[in-house]
A and B are shown apart, each in its own frame.
Chain A
Amino acid sequence: MSILTALARAEAVESGRAQPLTTVRHTHVAERPLVLVPLSLAGEAAAPLAAIVGTDPGEPRLLVVANPRDRTQRFDFVAELARVVLSYVDGCARSVDTGAGGTKLRYAEAPQVIVPNRGGVEFVRLLGRSTRFRRPFGPYPVHRTVPILGQWLTFLRERADHPGSSMLLAMTSVLSEHWATGQSGLEDANLAALLGWIDPPGDLDGAGAAALAEDPLRSPPAGPSTDPTFDNEILAPALAAVARSIDDFARERALAALTAAVADQMRPTWDLTWQAVRLLRTRPAGASVETRWAMDRDVFTMYHMALAEGTALPQPRRDSAVAAAGRLDRLEREQARYDAQRALDDPLVMAEFRLSGEAFTGTVVAASPNRVDTSGKKAALRPHITVQTDDPVRLEPGAHLVSPARLAQQATVVSVSSVDVVLELSKGMGRSTKQPAPGSVPEVGDRVTYGPVTDAYQPPGRFPSRDDTPWTHGGPPPVIEYHASDNDAVEDWS
Chain B
Amino acid sequence: MDPLVDRLDRIRGTVAPRNHNARTIAALTSNPGCGRRGLMDAAGVNKGAVAGQLGFPAGFGQSRFAIARGNAFEAQVKADGAAELLQLLRDRLGLAIPEVAYDDLSNVGGNASREVRYARTKALLARAASERDDAGTLFDHPMLRLEIAGYYAYLEPDLIAFRAGGKFHVVEIKSFAVIDGQADPGKTAAAATQSAVYVMAMRELLAELGHPPESVSHDVVLVCPENFANRPTATLVDVRKQLTVLRRQLSRLTRLESILDALPAGLSFDLAYDSDQQATRPADELRKAVSTIDARYSPDCLGTCEMAFFCRDESAGSTSALGRSVRDDLGGVESIGTVLGLARGTLTPGAGQEEIAGLLRFAHKLRTECLDGIG
Q: Which residues of B contact A317 (CB under 8 A)?
A: 180
Interface string of B66-102 (1 = CB under 8 A from A): 1111100000000000000000000000000000000
The one of A130, A232, A350, A492 in contact with B230, judged by C-beta atoms closer than 8 angstroms, is: A492
Interface string of A288-313 (1 = CB under 8 A from B): 00000000000000000000000000
Q: Are B366 and A185 in contact (CB under 8 A)?
A: no
Cβ of B132 within 8 Å of any chain A Cβ, yes or no, is no
Cβ of B370 within 8 Å of any chain A Cβ, yes or no, is yes
**Known contacts A10-B330, A10-B339, A232-B64; A4/B363 CB under 8 A:** yes
Q: Is the interface of A mostly helix, strand, loop or mixed?
A: helix
Task: Please provide the chain B residues from 210 to 229 with a CB less than 8 Å away from any CB of chain A in the complex.
Answer: 225, 227-229
Interface hit among A41-49, A170-178, A322-330: A41-49
Count contacts on B: residues with CB < 8 A to the other chain. Answer: 51
Cβ of A1 within 8 Å of any chain B Cβ, yes or no, is yes
The one of B66, B317, B323 in contact with A13, judged by C-beta atoms closer than 8 angstroms, is: B317
Interface hit among B5-13, B55-63, B149-157, B256-264: B55-63
Q: Are A1 and B366 in contact (CB under 8 A)?
A: no
Cβ of B110 within 8 Å of any chain A Cβ, yes or no, is no
Query: Which residue of the partner chain B has the closest CB to A239?
Result: B65
A184-B323 Cα distance, complex, nearest whole Å: 5
Interface string of A334-354 (1 = CB under 8 A from B): 000000000000011011001
The one of A6, A42, A492 in contact with B66, judged by C-beta atoms closer than 8 angstroms, is: A42
Q: Are A187 and B302 in contact (CB under 8 A)?
A: yes
Q: Are A347 and B340 in contact (CB under 8 A)?
A: no
Cβ of A23 within 8 Å of any chain B Cβ, yes or no, is yes
Count contacts on A: residues with CB < 8 A to the other chain. Answer: 51
Q: Are B68 and A43 in contact (CB under 8 A)?
A: yes
Q: Are B362 and A1 in contact (CB under 8 A)?
A: no
The one of B59, B299, B329, B340 in contact with A216, judged by C-beta atoms closer than 8 angstroms, is: B59
**Known contacts A184-B321, A229-B61, A232-B63; A11/B340 CB under 8 A:** yes
Interface string of B318-340 (1 = CB under 8 A from A): 01011101100110000011011
**Known contacts A4-B363, A10-B319, A318-B180; A491/B66 CB under 8 A:** no
Q: Are B370 and A23 in contact (CB under 8 A)?
A: yes
Query: Which residue of the partner chain B has the closest CB to A71?
Result: B228
Interface hit among B139-147, B171-179, B189-197, B244-252: B171-179
The one of B61, B322, B366 in contact with A351, judged by C-beta atoms closer than 8 angstroms, is: B366
The one of A3, A46, A185 in contact with B359, judged by C-beta atoms closer than 8 angstroms, is: A3
The one of A41, A45, A216 in contact with B225, judged by C-beta atoms closer than 8 angstroms, is: A45
Cβ of B231 within 8 Å of any chain A Cβ, yes or no, is yes
Cβ of A57 within 8 Å of any chain B Cβ, yes or no, is no
Chain B nearest CB from A317 CB (Å) reads 4
Q: Which residues of B contact A355 (CB under 8 A)?
A: 359, 362-363, 366
The one of A8, A20, A129, A184 in contact with B179, judged by C-beta atoms closer than 8 angstroms, is: A129
Task: Please provide the chain B residues from 282 to 333 with a CB less than 8 Å away from any CB of chain A in the complex.
Answer: 299-300, 302, 317, 319, 321-323, 325-326, 329-330
Chain B nearest CB from A285 CB (Å) reads 15
Cβ of A493 within 8 Å of any chain B Cβ, yes or no, is yes
Query: Which residue of the partner chain B has the closest CB to A44?
Result: B69
Q: Which residues of B contact A1 (CB under 8 A)?
A: 325-326, 329
Cβ of B120 within 8 Å of any chain A Cβ, yes or no, is no
Q: Which residues of A contact B370 (CB under 8 A)?
A: 23, 347-348, 350-351
A350-B371 Cα distance, complex, nearest whole Å: 12
Cβ of B281 within 8 Å of any chain A Cβ, yes or no, is no
Cβ of B266 within 8 Å of any chain A Cβ, yes or no, is no
Query: Which residue of the partner chain B has the closest CB to A215?
Result: B59
Task: Please provide the chain A residues from 342 to 392 with a CB less than 8 Å away from any CB of chain B in the complex.
Answer: 347-348, 350-351, 354-355, 392
Cβ of A277 within 8 Å of any chain B Cβ, yes or no, is no
**Known contacts A4-B367, A23-B374, A184-B321; A43/B175 CB under 8 A:** yes
A9-B336 Cα distance, complex, nearest whole Å: 9
Q: Are B180 and A494 in contact (CB under 8 A)?
A: no
Chain B nearest CB from A328 CB (Å) reads 16
Chain B nearest CB from A362 CB (Å) reads 12
Q: Are B65 and A42 in contact (CB under 8 A)?
A: yes
Q: Are A45 and B227 in contact (CB under 8 A)?
A: yes
Chain A nearest CB from B222 CB (Å) reads 16
A232-B177 Cα distance, complex, nearest whole Å: 22
Cβ of B181 within 8 Å of any chain A Cβ, yes or no, is yes
**Known contacts A11-B340, A130-B228, A494-B230; A3/B64 CB under 8 A:** no
Cβ of B201 within 8 Å of any chain A Cβ, yes or no, is no
Chain B nearest CB from A378 CB (Å) reads 41
Query: Which residue of the partner chain B has the closest CB to A491?
Result: B227
Cβ of B360 within 8 Å of any chain A Cβ, yes or no, is yes
**Known contacts A1-B329, A20-B374, A236-B64; A43/B322 CB under 8 A:** no
Q: Are A228 and B367 in contact (CB under 8 A)?
A: no
A185-B327 Cα distance, complex, nearest whole Å: 12
The one of A126, A183, A235, A493 in contact with B322, judged by C-beta atoms closer than 8 angstroms, is: A183
Interface string of A183-214 (1 = CB under 8 A from B): 11111000000000000000000000000000
Q: Which residues from chain B sit less than 8 Å from chain A, CB to CB?
A: 59, 61-70, 175-177, 179-181, 225, 227-231, 299-300, 302, 317, 319, 321-323, 325-326, 329-330, 336-337, 339-340, 343, 359-360, 362-364, 366-367, 369-371, 374
10 closest A-B pairs by CB: A492-B229, A43-B69, A45-B177, A43-B66, A42-B63, A228-B61, A184-B299, A6-B329, A184-B323, A231-B63
Q: Which residues from chain A sit less than 8 Å from chain B, CB to CB?
A: 1-11, 13-14, 20, 23, 41-46, 126, 129-130, 182-187, 216, 226, 228-229, 231-232, 235-236, 317-318, 347-348, 350-351, 354-355, 392, 491-494
Selected A-B contacts with CB under 8 Å, 24 pairs: A3-B329, A3-B363, A4-B366, A7-B363, A8-B367, A10-B336, A10-B340, A11-B340, A14-B336, A42-B65, A43-B67, A45-B177, A45-B228, A129-B180, A130-B227, A183-B322, A187-B299, A216-B59, A228-B66, A229-B61, A232-B61, A232-B63, A354-B366, A492-B228
